[in-house]
Chain A
Amino acid sequence: MKNNGFVRVADLHKDFLMGETRVQALSGVSLEIEQGSFTVVMGPSGSGKSTLLYLIGGLDWPTSGSIHVDGEEIEKMDENSLAGYRSSKVGFVFQSFNLVSSMPAEENVSFPLRFAGIAPAERKTRSQNLLEQVGLSDRATHKPTELSGGQQQRVAIARALINNPLLILADEPTGNLDSNSGLAIMQLLSDLHKSGKTIIVVTHDSRIKQFSTNTIFLLDGKTVSEQTYRQATELMSQP
């Protein structure tokens, strides 16, 4: 059970109500992701990639369907258990980094530990270790504005790792970066994958293929086969 279906999503629906109109972001997504895999989620803009990732990360509630992660049924959790789930099981990496601009790198990395009741001394050692792991030990006291985009994303990845989660969710982590920095971030995610983390990445960057173990294709809120996906995207890209 542990090794199979680490993330199981069944008939997942997510509707957004925009005044009168109902936007179907996800309309019946089912998938299974094994523990220790490196999964890429691909799809055109608006296909529901981010929505799916956020639902798996427990940052939003589905309209219907179920989400199991590591044996827990997260859509049935109350607010408090969900906070515990976000704290202990998942690490989030965002396209726009979402660092606290007034805090130095070290404190940004250890920020989640404040809510986990970890003492300051341990927070410091843990964040120093992680900054070393992402190659930024000499930038510990720098604020986000004093770091490059690639460095900021490394800080964000270190933050995602601070609670030692099994699952890393990254929504277009290279979207705001130049291609070299982007590749370095992908490399870093791959290293994490090799160290045993389960990774789900939403990206448009095809270079991710060399690192990933499997790919999920989304079209209009539904998972489709690679073939269907290729046909549809070729149609779209034709003039």
Chain B
Amino acid sequence: MRFFDLVSLIFYNLSRRKGRVLLTAVGVVIGTAAVVVLVSLAVGLRENATRQLWGINDLTSIEVYPGYSMEKMASSSSVMVGGGGGPDSIKYLTPTAIKEIAAIPGVKRVITQDYLNANLDLVYGKLHAYGGVIGVDVTDLADMGLTAAEGTTELARGTAVIGSWITRNFYDPKARPDDPPLEPPQLMGQSVKFVLIKWTQDGVEIKKTMTVKIAGVLAETRGSADGNIYMRLDEVTAWNEWSRGARINRNKEGYAMLIVKAEDPDVVIEVADKINELGFMANTPQSYLQGINSFFLVLQIIFGGVGAIALLVAAIGIANTMAMAILERTREIGLMKAVGATNKDVLSIFLGEAAGIGFIGGLGGVIFGWGGSAVLNLVALSYFASQASANGGLPPTMAASTPFWLPIFALAFATVVGLLSGLYPALRAATLVPVTALKYE
């Protein structure tokens, strides 16, 4: 039997009992649509979660903080009666520690960072702002994967490169509540006064004012960098020492944070694990992403499984319809064999019909599922958009997202389900003895 003849006969057989085929296919439509909508929803939720938490991020960097070991804390506190967590229990990011970390295979570079530990008031004309200053041990922020929207990423003495949201922090302390909202100032290339404040033990306020030139504004990262002011580490260290009134011994207290760059995104998790083994605390966007992804993968499987159960019920319907069809057409099967159909021909015809029902239902299910996801998006997005504008956040761009492979997969799956449910009836049909089939009443 030629393939074209097989297909046309299958099509003919399905079309001559449209009503029953369509009724059976409805079950498949529902199951497939459920698979498409639920998996789309799971994928959409994951995409939102990852997009919102990490914009574009540098996938080779690892944030390393001092390690606070629970075991050591517990044992040291038992020795030092009532002493709490002594300094011994903390693994500081000292120069020795940095050397240790830099020696881990796969580490390209270690960047040291420290925060400005002082009260800071930014003054630009009559405007004031708050902002966290980070001292970084690089000459160019591009080494940290940051890019400039304006100006440069290079850090020179007396300059700062600011995150994209810093300008929004400026406010006019003398403004009245009914004044129109302030336009964020254009700070690029401007000089801003950095006013450090500390108090003596008698409560006397001491101020130190520096003029810093804004040499660059970073492109938006949708990450922590957006709210940071980057300066040279030595300058920030000097200000910290002024604020404290004492020198900082890096060998004792280390740095606040390191950024470890891995040679390759593939080794990031491995390197982070090694750093954790050394007793420090390593965070990577990847490990976070991995957690999110595996959570949503489980969600996808559960959602997909719910849909698959609906498909399974539909499969029983197909098997039933095919079993009925074979009973009704027993004489026809006998005839087919009498006029030269092979067992394989008969098997192919009935398997094809079962798969055809699966395919028709799958097609309907994909269309309905796609439509359903679109409606879901429409409804959910208008709701989220109103929520977001009320709360001042970023609205999610979608609720359900149908990856291109999903309709193809769902259609193939429905067809295979049809095929499998037709397997037993079709095998029975194929192995009928022609005489018995012809005599069947």
Q: In the complex the two chains form, what is the Cα distance from A102 to B329 in whole Å?
A: 12
Q: Which residues of A (68-96) have their CB < 8 Å from a CB of B?
A: 79-80, 83-84, 86-88, 92, 94
- Mark contacts of B330-341 with chain A using CB atoms, 8 A cut-off: 1 yes-contact digit, 0 otherwise: 011011111111
Size of the B side of the interface (Cβ < 8 Å), in residues, is: 23
List B contacts of A116 (CB < 8 A).
340
Q: Which of A79, A80, A115, A117 contacts B339 (CB 8 A)?
A: A115
The closest CB in chain B to the CB of A61 belongs to: B433
The closest CB in chain A to the CB of B343 belongs to: A79
Known: A60-B435, A100-B332. A115 touches B345 (CB 8 A): yes
Most chain A beta-carbon contacts within 10 A, residue among B331, B332, B338? B338
Q: Does A229 contact B (CB under 8 A)?
A: no
Q: Is the CB of B339 within 8 A of A59?
A: no
List A contacts of B433 (CB < 8 A).
59-61
Q: Does A173 contact B (CB under 8 A)?
A: no
Q: Is the CB of A59 within 8 A of B5?
A: no
Taking the closest CB of chain A, its distance from the CB of B337, in whole angstroms, is 7
The closest CB in chain A to the CB of B437 belongs to: A59
Known: A114-B1, A117-B2. A83 touches B337 (CB 8 A): yes
The closest CB in chain A to the CB of B335 belongs to: A98
Q: Is the CB of A59 within 8 A of B435?
A: yes
Most chain A beta-carbon contacts within 10 A, residue among B334, B433, B435? B435
List B contacts of A87 (CB < 8 A).
339-340
Q: Does B123 contact A (CB under 8 A)?
A: no
Q: Does A8 contact B (CB under 8 A)?
A: no
Q: Is the CB of A59 within 8 A of B434?
A: yes
Q: Which residues of A (161-181) have their CB < 8 Å from a CB of B?
A: 163
Taking the closest CB of chain B, its distance from the CB of A48, in whole angstroms, is 13
Q: Is the CB of A114 within 8 A of B435?
A: no
Q: In the complex the two chains form, what is the Cα distance from A54 to B437 in whole Å?
A: 12
Q: Does A36 contact B (CB under 8 A)?
A: no
Taking the closest CB of chain A, its distance from the CB of B171, in whole angstroms, is 82
List B contacts of A79 (CB < 8 A).
342-343
Q: Which of B16, B331, B343, B435 contacts A98 (CB 8 A)?
A: B331
Given contacts A86-B337, A117-B2, 4 further A-B contacts (CB under 8 A): A59-B435, A60-B434, A86-B434, A163-B340
- A-side residues, CB < 8 A to B, are 54, 57, 59-61, 79-80, 83-84, 86-88, 92, 94, 98, 100, 102, 111-112, 114-117, 120, 159, 163
7 interchain residue pairs of minimum CB distance: A87-B340, A112-B339, A59-B434, A83-B342, A60-B435, A115-B341, A102-B16
List 28 contacting pairs A-B, 8 Å CB cutoff, sorted by A. A54-B435, A59-B334, A59-B337, A59-B433, A60-B434, A60-B435, A61-B433, A80-B343, A80-B344, A83-B337, A83-B340, A83-B345, A84-B340, A86-B337, A86-B340, A92-B338, A92-B339, A98-B331, A100-B335, A111-B335, A111-B339, A114-B1, A114-B5, A115-B336, A115-B339, A115-B341, A117-B1, A159-B339
